[in-house]
């Protein structure tokens, strides 16, 4: 064998390698269906969007709705809260990205985190802490926003991470106001 | 030590016939009857046998519980209460299974610390040790998934937090997390697959335990002196009756404690929040894992800071990934322990400095567990950060340094010398 391997590759060597490769590809192909079976199924994926009536939420109030099995915070902020959130310097933030796909990329200003110009009192966010997914408690914490009791993350009134182990600002789902009263999430 | 030499003599026609076809009785005889064990093993060495029995207890109680359990978000919580109230001896089987998990971990921690104290992981027993760490990891996965099955608040939020670890992986984290959950959040598909895997993993543990025992029987057991057996006749005794009886004594004492919890404090190790049905819109004020995960949980929460390139805003490892890496690292580091401990002397009995550092390490581990049960703020976080640093320093700095710095005591030339010397000093106390 050792004498042979030093010489030119033979037709037999080629056949061994080709057979081995086909075997590996075949084994991988056979494994794919059971692996893929564990991914979210069609019925889970079908729960893509919901509509919420927000007309009864007064300034300073907030509700939580369920979207894709996750809580979504909808908060109508008071003018004072919006002003305070706007006064925070971007440099002080742990996560400086707005992470608001509805308005495009930008710094995490109070407006960029909200529903946009004219509706900056509305803030809509996925209610799972960006650390390990617990639900932060509203209207609490050192910054008047949300506080996650699991591992001690504090978010401000714009849902920006200010203190604690969470790496990012609270995520913002895709949403739009269909009318002044109805919000569509997803 | 088993050495390939077999002392099995088939006594009758049938056993002779079977021995020539499938020498199973020979294997059992050589492994569990004639197998020579060092004569100076102390009580700490009975925990291997205790663990084997606990694994069997968990499998038997688990199999019968699975006959009544319903793995669905609609039925799981009620089916557990149904088992407690209506199923014959369901209360007993569930109490044994839930408290059995705690006792299993209690025993495995003593087993691991015993291995650390007597240097059991050293050449030539590295593979034996690595298989043990692998069993520990499988146990953790099994216990975690088992705790999700009753579908209480702690089940749900524990599952959310633990699967959240995977979302810390850069780029593909969220995809992996959703693949594991079978959805965007913990739900029915998650509960079903956890039940399936919770049933599978114990049998994988049985497989690795078989390898662990095989590796043990290749090298033979260590003993409190850390000196290898030199004279088989003088220094070993047959497994049966000597080790068997000793293991039964250890097991009996262990089962008294086990029974105390099962019959008098059945919910002591659990958490009251798990008697509230899972609610995906409300997190309990204070999430804690089962007590046996607390030290690792404290390490996870200790990393509250991003690791950046100095003087820039470029974050290399954010606090979330950092916490997960530290927690995974705290277990993974055990795999390389045989190479981090550079001392040639095995037993802490002959290592005066290591003996002290060992006990400091035990105290640090217990304190980390205590911190894991406390809320994550203020002084608790700072204390956890200091102890986490010490935990890693023990393995990465203290152990390599000790092997070089420490001057060990005189190691006895053989087990027989050590044992006989002890006897003669005991016989003449006047000095």
pLDDT of residue A88: 83
In this predicted model, what pLDDT tens digit does every residue of B369-406 receive, in sequence order? 999 998 877 789 899 999 999 999 999 999 999 999 99
What is the rounded distance in angstroms from the CA atom of residue B199 to the CA atom of residue B180? 17
pLDDT of residue A82: 84
Selected residues 381-420 of chain B with any CB under 8 Å from a CB in chain A: 381
Of B180, B283, B303, the CB nearest to A165: B303
pLDDT of residue B251: 97
In this predicted model, what pLDDT tens digit does every residue of B180-225 receive, in sequence order? 999 988 999 999 999 999 999 999 999 999 999 999 999 999 999 9
Q: Is B51 helix (H, G, I), strand (E, B) or coil?
A: helix
φ, ψ for residue B122 (rounded to 5)?
-80, 160
Across A3-7, A85-89, B186-190, the highest mean pLDDT is recorded for: B186-190
In this predicted model, what pLDDT tens digit does every residue of B244-300 receive, in sequence order? 999 999 999 999 999 999 999 999 999 999 999 999 888 887 888 999 999 999 999
> Catalytic residue among A66, A80, A119, A151, which?
A151
Q: Give CA torsion, residues B31, B34, B37, B40, to 10 deg.
A: 150
- From the candidates A133, A166, A173, A174, which should be mutated to test the interface with B, based on the most B CB atoms within 10 A? A133
Reported confidence tier of residue B431, pLDDT bands at 50, 70, 90: very low
What is the rounded distance in angstroms from the CA atom of residue B125 to the CA atom of residue B89? 43
B191 CB near a chain A CB, below 8 Å?
no
Across A137-151, B1-15, B168-182, the highest mean pLDDT is recorded for: B168-182
According to CATH, the topology of domain A46-185 is Rieske Iron-sulfur Protein (2.102.10)
In this predicted model, what pLDDT tens digit does every residue of B79-106 receive, in sequence order? 999 999 999 999 999 999 999 999 999 9
B266 CB near a chain A CB, below 8 Å?
no
What is the rounded distance in angstroms from the CA atom of residue B213 to the CA atom of residue B50? 14
Residue of B nearest to A152 (CA): B376
Q: Per CATH, is B30-283 categorized as 1.20.810.10?
A: yes
- Count of CA atoms in the C-beta half-sphere (13 A) of A94: 24
Q: Give CA torsion, residues B229, B231, B234, B236, to 10 deg.
A: 40
ipTM > 0.90 (yes/no): no
Chain A residues in contact with B388 (beta carbon < 8 A): none
CATH 1.20.810.10 spans which residues of chain B?
30-283
Mean pLDDT of all residues in chain B?
A: 92
Percent of chain B with pLDDT over 90: 78
pLDDT of residue A107: 84
A154 carries an active-site annotation: no
Residue B109 has pLDDT above 70, yes or no: yes
Which residues share a beta bridge with A146? A138, A155
How far is residue B320 from each of residues B180, B332, B418, measured CA to CA in Å?
A: 19, 18, 51
The token pair at B134 is 């692998």
Residue of A nearest to B163 (CA): A132
What is the rounded distance in angstroms from the CA atom of residue B119 to the CA atom of residue B351? 10
Chain B residues in contact with A96 (beta carbon < 8 A): 313
């Amino acid at each position: 064998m050792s004498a042979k391997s030093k010489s030119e590759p033979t037709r037999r060597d080629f056949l061994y390698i080709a057979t081995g490769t086909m075997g590996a590809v075949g084994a991988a192909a056979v494994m794919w269906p059971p692996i893929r079976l564990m991914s979210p199924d069609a019925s889970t994926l079908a729960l893509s969007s919901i509509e919420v009536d927000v007309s009864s939420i007064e300034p300073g109030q907030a509700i939580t709705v369920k979207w894709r099995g996750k809580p979504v915070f909808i908060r109508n902020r008071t003018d004072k809260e919006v002003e305070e959130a706007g006064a925070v310097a971007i440099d002080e933030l742990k996560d400086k990205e707005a992470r608001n796909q509805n308005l495009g990329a930008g710094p995490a200003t109070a407006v960029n985190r909200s529903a946009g110009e004219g509706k900056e009192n509305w803030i809509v966010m996925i209610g799972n802490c960006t650390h390990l997914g617990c639900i932060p408690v509203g209207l609490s914490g050192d910054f008047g926003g949300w506080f996650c009791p699991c591992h001690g993350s504090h978010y401000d009134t714009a849902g920006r991470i200010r203190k604690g182990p969470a790496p990012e600002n609270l995520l913002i789902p895709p949403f739009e106001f269909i009318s002044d009263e109805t919000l569509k999430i997803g | 030590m088993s050495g390939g030499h077999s002392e099995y003599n088939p006594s009758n026609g049938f056993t002779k016939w079977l021995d020539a076809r499938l020498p199973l009785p020979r294997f059992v005889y050589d492994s569990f009857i004639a197998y020579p064990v060092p004569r100076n093993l102390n009580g700490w060495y009975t925990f291997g046998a205790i663990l084997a029995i606990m694994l069997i207890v968990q499998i038997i109680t688990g199999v019968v519980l699975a006959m009544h359990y319903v793995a669905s978000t609609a039925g799981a919580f009620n089916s557990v209460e149904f088992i407690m109230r209506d199923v014959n001896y369901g209360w007993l089987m569930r109490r044994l299974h839930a408290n059995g998990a705690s006792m299993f971990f209690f025993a495995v921690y003593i087993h691991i610390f015993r291995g650390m104290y007597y240097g059991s992981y050293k050449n030539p027993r590295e593979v034996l040790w690595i298989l043990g760490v692998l069993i520990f990891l499988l146990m953790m996965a099994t216990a975690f998934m088992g705790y999700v099955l009753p579908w209480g608040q702690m089940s749900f939020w524990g599952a959310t937090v633990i699967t959240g670890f995977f979302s810390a992986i850069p780029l593909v984290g969220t995809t992996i997390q959703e693949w594991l959950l079978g959805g965007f959040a913990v739900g029915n598909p998650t509960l079903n697959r956890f039940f399936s895997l919770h049933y599978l993993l114990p049998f994988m543990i049985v497989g690795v335990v078989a390898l662990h025992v095989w590796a043990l029987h290749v090298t033979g057991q260590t003993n409190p002196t850390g000196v290898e057996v030199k004279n088989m006749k003088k220094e070993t005794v047959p497994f049966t009756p000597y080790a068997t009886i000793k293991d039964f004594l250890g097991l009996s004492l262990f089962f008294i404690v086990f029974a105390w919890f099962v019959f008098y404090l059945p919910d002591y190790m659990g958490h009251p929040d798990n008697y509230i049905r899972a609610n995906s819109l409300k997190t309990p004020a204070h999430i804690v894992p089962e007590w046996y995960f607390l030290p690792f949980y404290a390490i996870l929460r200790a990393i509250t800071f991003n690791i950046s390139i100095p003087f820039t805003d470029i974050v290399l490892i954010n606090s979330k990934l950092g916490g997960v890496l530290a927690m995974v690292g705290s277990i993974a580091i055990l795999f390389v322990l045989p190479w981090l401990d550079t001392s040639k002397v095995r037993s802490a009995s002959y290592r005066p400095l290591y003996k002290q550092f060992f006990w400091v390490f035990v105290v640090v581990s217990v304190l980390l567990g205590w911190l894991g049960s406390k809320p994550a703020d203020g002084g608790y976080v700072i204390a956890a950060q200091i102890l986490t640093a010490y935990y890693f320093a023990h393995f990465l700095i203290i152990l390599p340094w000790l092997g070089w710095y420490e001057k060990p005591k005189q190691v006895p030339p053989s087990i027989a010398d050590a044992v006989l010397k002890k006897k003669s000093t005991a016989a003449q106390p006047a000095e």
